[in-house]
Amino acid sequence: MSEGSVIDRDRMQVRFDCRGTATGKMRNDLAVSMVEPLQESFELATDEGPFHGGDSTAPPPLALFVGGLTGCIMTQIRAFSKRLGVTLNDLQVDVRVIWNWEKTGKTYETAPESFEIDIDIDSPDDEAAILTLIDAAKKGCFIEQTLKQPNVVKHRYKTPDGWKEA
């Protein structure tokens, strides 16, 4: 499918791949590609501040994560408002993500505490239409849907004999 193509399937998979390369003290340069259903590529970077020995040359990974969640729900609200006929005069979204952090010897462990999304829609439409829009956007936001369910995250590492599960 070429860029700008209209997707007219009822079902499909959306796939992104990313290759990260360590390039600085703690900097990672990321080549992100959408593989399906369209083909697009993006260059991103992450870095850490002095706490982790980085130079703060790029946002930390958590900033990209929170920004991705915010952008995802905003994109779905804007896209679905057109499809549902809901007028958007203005849109602002505030997201708060809180993680718990606990030192464990020389490292630490983390766990999510909460994900809070405040949506401020300026629209002349009635509350029922706005709530329908928000519900559709929640269901259409890939990141929010990922957070709402248990997930399997597989890790492998490369050895001289090939890839092994970690």
The 28-36 sheet, strands edge to edge:
15-22, 28-36, 40-46
Could you tell me the residue ranges of all domains in the chain?
1-59, 60-151
CATH top-level class for 60-151? Answer: alpha beta
Residue 59 identity (one-letter amino acid): P
SS (H, E, C) 122-163: ECCCCHHHHHHHHHHHHHHCHHHHHHCCCCCCCCEEEECCEE
Could you report the per-residue pLDDT of 72-103, keeping only the tens digit for each?
999 999 999 999 999 999 999 999 999 999 99
- What is the tens place of the pLDDT at every residue in 3-55? 455 677 889 999 999 999 999 899 999 999 999 999 999 999 999 999 899 99
